[in-house]
Structure 1
Amino acid sequence: MRLKLLGATTLAAMLASGSAFAEQTTITVWSWNVAASALKSTLEGFNKKYPDIKVDVQDIGNPQVFDKMLAACAAGGDGLPDIMSIENHKAEIFWNRYPDCMTDLTKLGYNADIKKLFPDFKRTELEVGDAAYAMPWDSGPVAMFYRRDLYEKAGIDPATIKTWDDFIAAGKKVSAANPGVVMSQADFNGDSEWFRMLANEQGCGYFSTDGQNISISQPACVAALDKIKAMKDAGTLTAANWDEKIQSNTANKVATQMYGGWYEGTLRSTSPDLSGKWGVYLMPSMTADGQHAANLGGSSLAIASSSKNKEAAWTYLNYVLSTNEGQVTMLKSFGLVPSLLSAVQDPFVNEPLPYWGGQKVWADILATLPKINPGRGTQYWGDADPIYRAVQTKYLAGGYPNGKAALDDAAQQIASATGLPIAK
């Protein structure tokens, strides 16, 4: 039988001993693809400590999780599993539309000491006032993944690339020394990736960090968009979608890819023959002494209010997310980048990796976590992102006189779609 909720101290002691559950309890988790596989990789270690909790991880696909969650929350939570994976930038859709659908984790033991284990930027979208509706899982600290051999042939030391203007200058040298090679690539038509990374680096985004205003037309965002156009105009950035980038990687046609740290696994799995030729360095900034960190991607785990196994679900969340053992198991097995700040001290994280030329890439990538600016997806992410992408395409094709005019237009369109005011 399932224990009734105990006092926090008593429950914590029983959970620590693995004896809180008198008989077998099964909890169900919805996730997708590699994320689901990563969760499955933690089960052996978890069940050594908690043999009476069976975890059934179901890989039902990314859009399916989101769609099924929305439908179930609209129906009062009927049909939800115990635990669900939620992408951070979509999380606030649930808290705003269905505030009673997810469990406030602070009622189960998610206290101030545990919250401090994670960077602020990962918690911003998951908490409303004193309530916390999900717990940080993986993150996407941005890194420059570069080809050592192509840089060396051009005489470029990545340590000297401090600014985006340095990156443009280096790109010209790389292309000159390696005919047919471009410095980097961006999905100008189908994604907002580069803008979101540069804007986040500069402390800007579609919405203000309190979620109350539209901030896309603020100076820091304008500077990000104008720098992207400067890189495109200089030939430093050329257009390519996800699949085209992978093809360019394997065909030795690109020298750099900028992405969240999770791209490490993509490169290793899709370009295995290039072992030893790739390296990592920090993203450039607007100025040499500026911010050199941003985030792209990342998810969280939430417990349904309708769950009949909340204590068991919390036991699993606490193990898999707030311990190095849980987080680093997922990093080691499937390249999911921890949000847990202490993970940077783990022995595996500090190992030199042969694929990366002996570089301790995880130590370098995870060291940026405390420096990343918070950002908000808000409940209006689905309105704002398509508007920005259309404006970006038009601007890069010469449809606006400057970045300010482009983002003023984007801000007006987002205001019309959401009813939010534009930040002054």
Structure 2
Amino acid sequence: MKKVMLSLSALLLVGSAAAQDLSGTVTIWSWDAAAKALESTIPSFNKKYPNVKVKVEDLGNQNVYDRGLAGCAAGGQDMPDIYSIENNEAEVFWARFPDCFVDLNTKGADKLVKNFPAFKWTELMAGNKRYAMPWDSGPVVMFYRRDLYQQAGVNPASIKTWEDFIAAGKKVNAKFNNNVKMATVANGQDDEWFRMLANQNGCFYFDNAAKAVTVNQPGCVSALNTIKKLYDAQVVATGDWGGQITNVKAGKTASAMFGAWYEGTIRTNAPDQKGKWGVYLMPASKAGGVRASNLGGSALAIPSSSKNQAAAYAFLENALATAGGQVTMLKSQGLVPSLLSATKDPYVKTAQPYWGNQAIWQTILGTLGDVPQARGTQYFQDARQVMIVVQADYIKGRYKTAKEALDDAAKKISSATGLPVAK
């Protein structure tokens, strides 16, 4: 027993010494609520590493991306110690600048693989290299107005498929004389609904090997068909990001489907609607089908030019690879954890007053393990711009079928990227 105690004491002393050895400053580039969330983890980090100063710079989302591209193009010049990166833009960096960021496997990230859902790693890797650690995620759910559903005689528990959702939308139309719609879709401005539904169906712009265009595969065809059915049934309105928020504030939309980060958008833009909102799983394409998807989410990477990589990685581990770090950011800014152990934290089961005392995080995080993998590739924005136009044209009736529309989209994406259309 004494030998065990001595060896344990020795280990604690070694760990303490290692913590004391880390010093200097770690600079982080991030944006908005994400930057504030990272700041909220600094106190717990400094308890472990008191000699490291952490400086979070809120540069704005687009500015972080643009300065990152410029820094990598300049060989890592003027880059921070930790770089915030959106998942769907990550592969632009790995493809264009493979030496700009540290392979985190060399720091121990390979031992953390199973601590996160597989879909979160997909876009953070190139070959066997792991260039970033998963941060927040965007599990998709349906946010809904309890009062409007109730007035229209709609029970959210009865909505299990998109056909059920359309039937509920017709009840909402009838009750509110078409002045309230079931949801608002950014048709013509974005293709986020297509991406959410396609991902749910195990389909995306590209295959997971990033070798072929798959946007015209059956799962994507089903997704586009569903959006057309929603429009044909006249149960959805059209609006861009600002228009969607306006409809939420005005009570003109009974539901809003987004990644779970939209929780904060509703809560902060419509504080007067406290207690009127709830959450349920996104409808499935068919009875018994998948009711999970992902939209959005970010990661943290360490530029190879960082002079304080050990301290930077220690920060990543504390903020992202511990339940304490992830839940702190959930409480602080509503950033949805990717770490699977965080889903078991007591806070996740806590009733949320704004959401009618529903334990919404338990519902939301319970879908993480069901989200199909998807690969944005370095050509994400090229494909997205094509799909925005094709989706809008299909809704207008410029294509006879969803398959015809997506065959055209596949050809255009192939032309823009040089990737073949999958057979």
Question: How would you bin the TM-score normalised by the shorter chain?
Answer: over 0.9
Q: 2:415 is matched by which residue type in structure 1?
A: S
- Of Structure 1 and Structure 2, the greater helix share is in 2
TM-superposed deviation, 1:74: 1.1
1:167 aligns to 2:165 (yes or no): yes
TM-superposed deviation, 1:21: 4.0
* Number of the residue aligned with 1:395: 394
Residue correspondence of structure 1 range 228-239 to structure 2 within 5 A: 228-239=227-238
Q: 2:37 is matched by which residue type in structure 1?
A: A
5+ long unaligned stretches in structure 2: 1-10
| Residues 197 and 23 of structure 1: CA distance in aligned 2, closer, same or farther (over 3 Å) | closer
The 3-state SS of whatever aligns with 1:264 is helix
1:405 aligns to 2:408 (yes or no): no
Distance in 1 between residues matched to 2:388 and 2:141, nearest whole Å: 23
The 3-state SS of whatever aligns with 2:405 is helix
Q: Give per-residue Cα distances to partners, 1:380-403, cap 9 Å, x unaligned.
A: 112111011111111111111111
| Residues 140 and 18 of structure 1: CA distance in aligned 2, closer, same or farther (over 3 Å) | farther
Distance in 2 between residues matched to 1:172 and 1:66, nearest whole Å: 42
* Number of the residue aligned with 1:6: none
1:58 aligns to 2:57 (yes or no): yes
* Number of the residue aligned with 1:153: 151
| Residues 40 and 408 of structure 1: CA distance in aligned 2, closer, same or farther (over 3 Å) | same
TM-superposed deviation, 1:343: 1.1
* Number of the residue aligned with 1:176: 174
| Residues 40 and 14 of structure 1: CA distance in aligned 2, closer, same or farther (over 3 Å) | farther
Alpha-carbon contact 1:153-1:178 (below 8 Å) kept? no
Distance in 2 between residues matched to 1:304 and 1:186, nearest whole Å: 37
* Number of the residue aligned with 1:240: 239
TM-superposed deviation, 1:24: 3.5
1:272 aligns to 2:266 (yes or no): no
| Residues 134 and 23 of structure 1: CA distance in aligned 2, closer, same or farther (over 3 Å) | closer
1:335 aligns to 2:334 (yes or no): yes
Alpha-carbon contact 1:143-1:260 (below 8 Å) kept? yes
* Number of the residue aligned with 1:7: none
Q: 1:389 is matched by which residue type in structure 2?
A: I
Distance in 2 between residues matched to 1:16 and 1:356, nearest whole Å: 43
* Number of the residue aligned with 1:120: 118
Distance in 1 between residues matched to 2:205 and 2:331, nearest whole Å: 33
The 3-state SS of whatever aligns with 1:116 is helix
Distance in 1 between residues matched to 2:270 and 2:14, nearest whole Å: 43
1:131 aligns to 2:134 (yes or no): no
Q: 2:162 is matched by which residue type in structure 1?
A: W
| Residues 23 and 143 of structure 1: CA distance in aligned 2, closer, same or farther (over 3 Å) | closer
Alpha-carbon contact 2:82-2:301 (below 8 Å) kept? yes
**Displacement over 6 Å in runs of 4+:** 12-15
Distance in 2 between residues matched to 1:232 and 1:258, nearest whole Å: 15
Distance in 1 between residues matched to 2:105 and 2:376, nearest whole Å: 22
TM-superposed deviation, 1:308: 0.7
TM-superposed deviation, 1:19: 3.9
Q: Give per-residue Cα distances to partners, 1:108-160, cap 9 Å, x unaligned.
A: 12133x11110000001112232110000000000100011111112211111
Alpha-carbon contact 1:120-1:374 (below 8 Å) kept? yes
* Number of the residue aligned with 1:144: 142
TM-superposed deviation, 1:23: 6.6
| Residues 15 and 328 of structure 1: CA distance in aligned 2, closer, same or farther (over 3 Å) | farther
TM-superposed deviation, 1:407: 0.6
* Number of the residue aligned with 1:318: 317
Q: 2:403 is matched by which residue type in structure 1?
A: K
Alpha-carbon contact 2:22-2:310 (below 8 Å) kept? no
Q: Give per-residue Cα distances to partners, 1:142-188, cap 9 Å, x unaligned.
A: 01000111111122111111110110000000221233111111000
Distance in 1 between residues matched to 2:413 and 2:168, nearest whole Å: 36
* Number of the residue aligned with 1:256: 255
Q: Give per-residue Cα distances to partners, 1:80-99, cap 9 Å, x unaligned.
A: 11100010011111111111
Instruction: Report the identity percentage.
Output: 55
- Structure 1-normalised TM-score? 0.95
The 3-state SS of whatever aligns with 2:144 is strand
Alpha-carbon contact 2:22-2:311 (below 8 Å) kept? no
The 3-state SS of whatever aligns with 2:346 is coil
Distance in 1 between residues matched to 2:148 and 2:384, nearest whole Å: 34
| Residues 177 and 69 of structure 1: CA distance in aligned 2, closer, same or farther (over 3 Å) | same
The 3-state SS of whatever aligns with 1:257 is strand
| Residues 23 and 250 of structure 1: CA distance in aligned 2, closer, same or farther (over 3 Å) | closer
Distance in 1 between residues matched to 2:238 and 2:60, nearest whole Å: 28
Distance in 1 between residues matched to 2:352 and 2:85, nearest whole Å: 30
Distance in 2 between residues matched to 1:155 and 1:270, nearest whole Å: 26
Distance in 2 between residues matched to 1:347 and 1:374, nearest whole Å: 28
TM-superposed deviation, 1:243: 1.3
* Number of the residue aligned with 1:5: none
Distance in 1 between residues matched to 2:247 and 2:28, nearest whole Å: 36
| Residues 151 and 14 of structure 1: CA distance in aligned 2, closer, same or farther (over 3 Å) | farther
| Residues 267 and 22 of structure 1: CA distance in aligned 2, closer, same or farther (over 3 Å) | same
Alpha-carbon contact 2:187-2:239 (below 8 Å) kept? yes
Alpha-carbon contact 1:150-1:178 (below 8 Å) kept? no
* Number of the residue aligned with 1:29: 28
The 3-state SS of whatever aligns with 1:212 is coil
* Number of the residue aligned with 2:280: 281
Alignment coverage as a number of residue pairs: 412
Distance in 2 between residues matched to 1:254 and 1:200, nearest whole Å: 24
- Structure 2-normalised TM-score? 0.95
TM-superposed deviation, 1:20: 3.1
Q: Give per-residue Cα distances to partners, 1:213-252, cap 9 Å, x unaligned.
A: 1000101101100110110111112101111121111211
